[in-house]
């Protein structure tokens, strides 16, 4: 039995059974039952999440980002998602390690020569970041399909740990559902604790750094700081401008840190004066980079193409090979795409694009743009996934509208284990206009009862 409330998953459960499983959301029923109550609950939810979860940025461009809605999964669908997440976690870690010491391949995957050299010499641990997030769509056949892996600086922890808890607590029918992010805080603390304990030198002070000028990033880091209190070292939080390296020592707000977690894209840090000093300190073992350069490699969409190309290779175990074929859509470097590839069935993505940036449906890419992408070389083509859609409720002006939207299901991996979901409902390409909703599973057979969990608490994690 696992320690996260999931029963052991049989091979039979891992394949879609019988009729195609459907995703469904709950807001439609809540709205139909009591529109005035629905509005009041949503307003209160925004206020409470601002204060209690540091989600004071809960609107985007004036529209509500936190939705009063939840995605409900059945047990089998969730079990397959958990299995996919953990299997792909192993796949990406293995792939990143395989490529990390191969400068020629790294350059083909979009890394400048200098960074490729740094990657090749990076310490073995940490393997990847303490937390990563796989973004999936559920396709029309009921199979989870991976869009990308956010392993460098994944967001959404406030929503999954904090907002989802408030949402669930306020539901009139909460007894029917179990929320899925309940274990993420523990998982995350454990991941940090394990990495810090394995540092080459004792970590007396942990630095958390971001661009504090961005409200969302700062709020996420403030939330993380609260989560990590008690994990061990003293925590110092600062803006990236507060970070300096002096005589080989890394100082944040004037205090030396022995470990650093950044919520700041490494590709932006690369251009800054402090970057070489940080890498030098890491290579010399004076600083533990909790999200190492390899985390960006794992996030590189070109690595998806590399994994697809090596899907039959012996580097992966048979179970991992099956997971690749089952969950990873066919993906190629744009420079290696088959000559007869019908790009109308594919999506073109930039290697390091974040939050839906530089993602184009092939049908909308002209011959000229296609050639340009091939010349630039920093794009992959990935077979488009036709996703199931679910109902959402959006608030426009003073009107509540029911709309059909695509659920992008982010699945967290922390400490090598599945940790919860971060679900956004939006358009076919998920952008910052999408709306976050909670993630629940229907209670029923197969879930661990409270007493069972108590009895298994002291067993070692799988």
What is the chain's Cα-based Rg? 22
Q: What is the separation of C-alpha 205 from the centre of its chain, rounded to a whole number of angstroms?
A: 26
In this complex, which beta carbon is closest to another protein, that of residue 53 or of residue 96?
53
Q: Kindly state the smallest distance separating residue 237's Cβ from another protein, in Å.
A: 7
251 near another protein (CB under 8 A): yes
Site string for another protein, 391-420 (x = CB under 8 A): ------xx----------------------
Dig out the tokens for 6 from the structure: 């999931």
Element (H, E) at 145: strand 144-150
432 near another protein (CB under 8 A): yes
Is the CB of residue 221 less than 8 Å from the CB of residue 208?
Answer: yes
Q: How far apart are CA 143 and CA 166, in angstroms?
A: 30
Q: Kindly state the smallest distance separating residue 52's Cβ from another protein, in Å.
A: 8
Q: How far apart are CA 356 and CA 344, in angstroms?
A: 19
Q: Kindly state the smallest distance separating residue 227's Cβ from another protein, in Å.
A: 14
Q: Kindly state the smallest distance separating residue 218's Cβ from another protein, in Å.
A: 6
Q: Kindly state the smallest distance separating residue 193's Cβ from another protein, in Å.
A: 24
106 near another protein (CB under 8 A): no
Site string for another protein, 50-79 (x = CB under 8 A): xx--x-xx-xxxxxx---------------
Contacts of another protein in 211-240 (CB under 8 A): 212-215, 218-219, 222, 237-239
| DSSP helix/strand/coil, 215 | helix
Q: How far apart are CA 396 and CA 242, in angstroms?
A: 40
Query: How many Cβ atoms from other residues are within 10 Å of residue 163's Cβ?
Result: 25
Dig out the tokens for 80 from the structure: 């397959």
Q: What is the separation of C-alpha 288 from the centre of its chain, rounded to a whole number of angstroms?
A: 22
In this complex, which beta carbon is closest to another protein, that of residue 186 or of residue 433?
433
In this complex, which beta carbon is closest to another protein, that of residue 64 or of residue 343?
64
Terminal Cα-to-Cα distance of the chain (whole angstroms)? 9
Site string for another protein, 14-53 (x = CB under 8 A): ---------------------------------x--xx--
Q: Which residues contact 460 (CB under 8 A, 6 or more apart)?
A: none
User: What DSSP string describes 293-314?
Assistant: HHHHHHH-HHHHHHHHHTTTST
In this complex, which beta carbon is closest to another protein, that of residue 140 or of residue 355?
355
Query: How many Cβ atoms from other residues are within 10 Å of residue 117's Cβ?
Result: 14
170 near another protein (CB under 8 A): no
In this complex, which beta carbon is closest to another protein, that of residue 64 or of residue 417?
64
Partner residues linked to 239 by β-bridges:
210
Partner residues linked to 331 by β-bridges:
382
Q: Kindly state the smallest distance separating residue 102's Cβ from another protein, in Å.
A: 39
Residue 60's alpha-carbon distances to 57, 124, 392, 398, 422, in angstroms, are 7, 39, 17, 17, 17
| DSSP helix/strand/coil, 142 | coil
In this complex, which beta carbon is closest to another protein, that of residue 50 or of residue 341?
50
Number of residues that bind another protein (CB under 8 A): 31
254 near another protein (CB under 8 A): yes
In this complex, which beta carbon is closest to another protein, that of residue 107 or of residue 355?
355
275 near another protein (CB under 8 A): no
Is the CB of residue 395 less than 8 Å from the CB of residue 41?
Answer: no
Give alpha helix (H) positions in 240-292: 266-269, 274-283
In this complex, which beta carbon is closest to another protein, that of residue 66 or of residue 146?
66
241 near another protein (CB under 8 A): yes
Considering only 105, 186, 242, 335, the residue that binds another protein (CB under 8 A) is 242
Considering only 7, 41, 244, 319, the residue that binds another protein (CB under 8 A) is 244
Dig out the tokens for 207 from the structure: 């630095």
Q: Kindly state the smallest distance separating residue 39's Cβ from another protein, in Å.
A: 13
In this complex, which beta carbon is closest to another protein, that of residue 22 or of residue 215?
215
Q: Kindly state the smallest distance separating residue 281's Cβ from another protein, in Å.
A: 17
Is the CB of residue 446 less than 8 Å from the CB of residue 460?
Answer: no
In this complex, which beta carbon is closest to another protein, that of residue 58 or of residue 153?
58
**Interface positions with another protein (CB under 8 A):** 47, 50-51, 54, 56-57, 59-64, 212-215, 218-219, 222, 237-239, 241-242, 244, 251, 253-254, 397-398, 432
């Amino acid at each position: 039995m696992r320690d996260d409330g999931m029963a052991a998953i049989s091979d039979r459960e891992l394949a879609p059974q019988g009729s195609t499983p459907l995703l469904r959301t709950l807001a439609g029923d809540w709205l139909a039952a009591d529109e005035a109550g629905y509005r009041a609950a949503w307003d209160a939810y925004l206020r409470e999440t601002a204060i209690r979860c540091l989600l004071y940025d809960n609107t985007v461009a004036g529209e509500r980002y936190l939705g009063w809605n939840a995605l409900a999964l059945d047990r089998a669908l969730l079990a397959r998602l958990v299995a996919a997440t953990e299997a792909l976690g192993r796949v990406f870690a293995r792939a990143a390690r395989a490529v990390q010491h191969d400068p020629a391949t790294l350059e083909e995957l979009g890394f400048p020569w200098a960074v490729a050299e740094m990657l090749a010499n990076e310490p073995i641990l940490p393997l990847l970041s303490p937390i990563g997030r796989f973004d999936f769509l559920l396709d029309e056949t009921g199979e989870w399909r991976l869009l990308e892996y956010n392993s460098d600086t994944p967001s959404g922890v406030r929503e999954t740990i904090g907002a989802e808890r408030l949402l669930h607590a306020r539901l009139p029918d909460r007894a029917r559902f179990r929320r899925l992010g309940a274990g993420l805080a523990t998982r995350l603390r454990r991941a940090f604790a394990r990495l810090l304990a394995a540092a080459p030198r004792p970590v007396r002070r942990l630095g958390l750094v971001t661009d504090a000028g961005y409200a969302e990033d700062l709020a996420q880091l403030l939330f993380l700081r609260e989560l990590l209190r008690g994990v061990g070292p003293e925590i110092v939080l600062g803006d990236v401008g507060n970070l300096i390296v002096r005589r080989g020592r890394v100082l944040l707000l004037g205090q030396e840190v022995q470990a650093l977690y950044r919520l700041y894209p490494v590709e932006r840090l690369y251009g800054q004066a402090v970057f070489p000093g940080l890498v030098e300190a890491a290579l010399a073992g004076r600083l533990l980079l909790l999200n190492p350069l390899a985390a960006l490699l794992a996030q590189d969409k070109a690595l998806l193409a590399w994994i697809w190309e090596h899907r039959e290779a012996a580097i992966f175990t048979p179970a991992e090979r099956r997971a690749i074929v089952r969950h990873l859509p066919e993906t190629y470097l744009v420079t290696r795409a088959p000559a007869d590839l019908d790009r109308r069935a594919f999506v073109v993505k930039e290697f390091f694009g974040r939050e839906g940036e530089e993602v184009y449906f092939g049908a909308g890419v002209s011959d000229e743009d296609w050639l340009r992408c091939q010349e630039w070389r920093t794009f992959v083509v990935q077979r488009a996934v036709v996703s199931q859609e679910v109902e959402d409720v959006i608030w426009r002006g003073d009107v509540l509208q029911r709309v059909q939207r695509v659920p992008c299901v982010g699945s967290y991996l922390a400490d090598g284990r599945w940790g919860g979901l971060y679900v956004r409902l939006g358009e076919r390409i998920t952008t910052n206009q999408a709306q976050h909703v909670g993630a629940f599973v229907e209670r029923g057979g197969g879930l661990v009862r409270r007493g069972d969990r108590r009895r298994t608490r002291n067993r070692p994690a799988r």
